[in-house]
Amino acid sequence: MTRIKDALDAVAAAIIAQKDYLCSLDAKTGDGDHGLNMARGFSAVQDAVDEMADTTKPGPVLETIGQTLIENVGGAAGPLYGTGFLKAAKACDDDTAMNIKSFEKLLGAAIKGIQTRGRAEKGDKTMLDVLIPIHQCFLPENAEGKSLFAVLEEASRAAKAGVDYTKTIAAKKGRASLVGERSIGYEDPGAVSSMLMYRALYAFLKK
């Protein structure tokens, strides 16, 4: 089964293709290297997963992704994304499958890890302003009676709304917090890279 590996390749390709765009966003409020860091990280992730003997189980693949991002992505993004993937990996079990319940569980674990590592919340102008709205779409009270693909589509719209929201608020975390109110009007690069990753996964699953 290569589907997990194929999904990863789709996400990596999306990040690498948008490297310059992510750098241009980061240059407005940070040090302009988010795209380079993320592209380097996902290129290393592809190499690491290629070396795995078995990519049929999500837990080990997610663990490899997380560890590789921590080791290869500079700035805050590496530890934050890496922690998210590692926590998602730990949440995997024999019941993990391509369904709403598993998406909710893994996203919830990832977000909790990112919140703890980054000491951030929704509204701080970070990747959480995209990841939390995505996760909320999969909660039982919002997903009840809906198909997986209906929820995936809603979450895609929520991701874009989250990115748009970051334009309206001042950064409270990371290097962007140093420019404070002057960060208003610009999307958060981490929020954008989160949206790109999610939408690449959604586009892959729709095929």
Torsion of CA 120, 83, 74, 40, to 10 degrees: -130
Query: According to the model, what pLDDT value does residue 2 have?
Result: 52
Asked whether the predicted pLDDT for residue 1 surpasses 80, the reply is: no
The predicted-structure confidence for 133-178, as pLDDT tens digits, reads as follows 999 999 999 999 999 999 999 999 999 999 999 999 988 877 677 6
Query: According to the model, what pLDDT value does residue 74 have?
Result: 81
Q: Catalogue all structural domains in the chain, each as residue range(s) with its CATH number.
A: 3-206 (1.25.40.340)
- What is the per-residue burial (b if ≥16 Cβ within 10 Å, else e) of 6-35? ebbbbbbebbbebbeebbebbeebbeebbb
Contact call for residues 174 and 76 (beta carbons, < 8 A): yes
Q: Enter the pTM of the model.
A: 0.94
